[in-house]
């Protein structure tokens, strides 16, 4: 299956392989496609339910048996979400974008550097520090919530977007992920470059970093999704409505008794998922581009 992606290799050998394989590949292709698409329905359901609920009246949202096609269709839910409320969704979006973008770019930078050092450089104290990193990842995050809140208040970061951005820039997860990606590359790459006289920074930036582009893309997506959907962080750190991110802004549709205006909430959720899907599709291109370029090398 992977072989069809391969473009290099001796031409003669390849053409010899193709005719016998093609028929079998065609059948596997069809079977695999059918199976995967069937299975994917199970994963499409929550999104389908969200979209359908976002167009329903509240009473229809939780009706049993569920109605998948809204009747009547309530476009008004989207109007309510986007045009009403003070401040409007647009403000929440711009806050979320600020937090997520700065966080992702920062995370990619610091995590790739640290991950590289942990995987490919050797220096005194490295393994001890890495162990510390790993150990902190294991500590339940709920344990950190209150100390972090109190500490951030001391630092004066509480009530600012920095309280959300800064922790997102220095993640153990990203470092760990990058380290593992660098580990799966052969060490010979760097040695060759070093023999050619490249400095450490160039070895990292020009030789190793491009190799883990798919991982960086994955990290970018995951880090973006994580900070875009984060509810607990903003809930604990922010109180000024003008600074709310999207998930916190959606609490407008939860009343004081815990009830939920589900149609509105879902219209808001659908609106908030769309940017992520766009980002994901864009990064898909990155995946494929990275694959293509490494294949052409």
Partner 1 sequence: MSHPTSISRRALIGGAAAIGTATLAGCNLAKGGGGSGSGSNSVSLNVWGGVPNETGPDDLCKAFMAEHPDIKVTYTRYVNDEQGNLKLDTSLTGGVPIDMYFSYSPARLSQRASNGLAVDLTDKITAEKDFSQFAVDADPLGNYVFDGKQYAVPAARAPSQVYINQSMLDEAGIKLGDNWTTDEFVQVAKELTKPGRFGSLDYPPQARAVLGPDYRYKNDGKASNFADPWFAKELQLAQRLKQDKVVMDQKTIIAEKLQTFSQNPYIAGRVAMLIASGQIIRSINDTAQYPHDFKTFVMPIPSPQKGKQGWNTGQIGDLITVSPKSQHQDEAWELAKFWVRNAGKYMTKGGRLPTMPGSSTEDDILAQLLSDKADTLYDVESWRRFLFSPNLKMPVDTIFTAGTEIDTILQKLNDETLLGTRSVSSWVQQAVKQSDAAIKKAGAGS
Partner 2 sequence: MSVLSGRAPASPPGTALTGPITPALRPRRRSRGTGGMSTRVGWLFILPNLIGFLIFTLVPLIGGVGISFTDWNVISGLSGIKWVGLQNFAELITDGTFWAAVGRTVIYAGVGVPLTMAGGLVLALCLNGPVFGRAVLRVIFFIPHIVSSIALGFVWLILLHPTAGLVNLALESLGINDPPGWLVSQQWSLLSLVFITSWAGMGFHAVIFLSAMQALPTELYEAAELDGAGAWTRFTTITWRALMPTTTFLFIMSLIGHSQGFGLIAFLTQGGPGDSSTTLSYLMYQTGFQNYRFGDAAAMGMLSFVGVLLLTVFFWRFQRGRGLYT
Binding site for partner 1 (CB under 8 A): 57-59, 62-64, 76, 85-86, 145-146, 149-150, 153, 158-159, 232, 235-236, 239-241, 251-252, 254-261, 263
Q: Which of 11, 59, 69, 138 binds partner 2 (CB under 8 A)?
A: 138
Backbone phi and psi for residue 74, each to the nearest 5 degrees, phi listed first:
-100, 85
Each residue 156-195 as x (binds partner 2 by CB under 8 A) or -, in order, gives ----------xx-xx-xx-xxx-xxx-xxxxxxxxx--x-
The 10 Å Cβ neighbour count of residue 96 is 26
Looking at 73-81, 89-97, 236-244, 278-286, which segment touches partner 2 (CB under 8 A)? 278-286
Which residue, among 241, 252, 231, 235, has the nearest Cα to 80 in the 3D structure?
252
Task: Give the span between the Cα atoms of 168 and 222, in whole angstroms.
Answer: 12
Q: Which of 129, 196, 206, 239 binds partner 2 (CB under 8 A)?
A: 129
Backbone phi and psi for residue 254, each to the nearest 5 degrees, phi listed first:
-105, 125
Q: How far is the CB of 56 from partner 2 (least distance, A)?
A: 12
Q: How far is the CB of 125 from partner 2 (least distance, A)?
A: 8
**Angle subtended at Cα 146 by Cα 140 and Cα 149, rounded to the nearest 5 degrees:** 120
Q: How far is the CB of 251 from partner 1 (least distance, A)?
A: 5
Q: How far is the CB of 117 from partner 2 (least distance, A)?
A: 4
DSSP string, 234-245: HHHH---GGG--
């Amino acid at each position: 299956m992977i072989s069809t992606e391969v473009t290099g290799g001796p031409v003669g050998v390849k053409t010899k392989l193709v005719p016998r394989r093609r028929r079998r590949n065609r059948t596997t292709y069809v079977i695999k496609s059918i199976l995967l698409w069937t299975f994917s329905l199970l994963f499409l359901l929550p999104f389908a339910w969200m979209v359908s609920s976002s167009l329903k009246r509240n009473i229809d949202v939780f009706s049993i048996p569920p109605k998948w096609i809204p009747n009547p269709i309530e476009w008004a839910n989207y109007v309510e979400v986007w045009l009403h409320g003070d401040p409007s969704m647009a403000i929440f979006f711009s806050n979320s974008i600020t937090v997520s973008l700065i966080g992702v770019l920062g995370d990619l930078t610091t995590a790739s550097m640290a991950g590289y050092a942990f995987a490919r450089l050797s220096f005194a104290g490295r393994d001890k520090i890495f162990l510390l990193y790993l150990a902190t990842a294991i500590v339940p995050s709920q344990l950190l919530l209150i100390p972090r809140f109190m500490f951030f208040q001391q630092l004066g970061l509480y009530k600012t977007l920095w309280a959300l951005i800064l922790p997102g820039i220095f993640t153990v997860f990203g470092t760990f992920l990058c380290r593992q990606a660098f580990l799966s590359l052969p060490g010979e790459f760097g040695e060759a470059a070093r023999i050619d006289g490249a400095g450490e920074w160039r070895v990292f930036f020009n030789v190793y970093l491009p190799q883990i582009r798919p991982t960086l893309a994955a990290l970018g997506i995951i880090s973006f999704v994580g900070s875009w959907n984060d509810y607990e962080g903003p809930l604990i750190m922010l109180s000024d409505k003008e600074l709310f991110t999207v998930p916190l802004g959606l609490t407008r549709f939860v009343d004081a008794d815990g009830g939920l205006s589900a149609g509105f909430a879902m219209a808001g959720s659908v609106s908030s998922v769309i940017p992520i899907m766009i980002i994901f599709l864009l990064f898909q291109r990155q995946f494929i581009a990275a694959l293509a370029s490494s294949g052409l090398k």
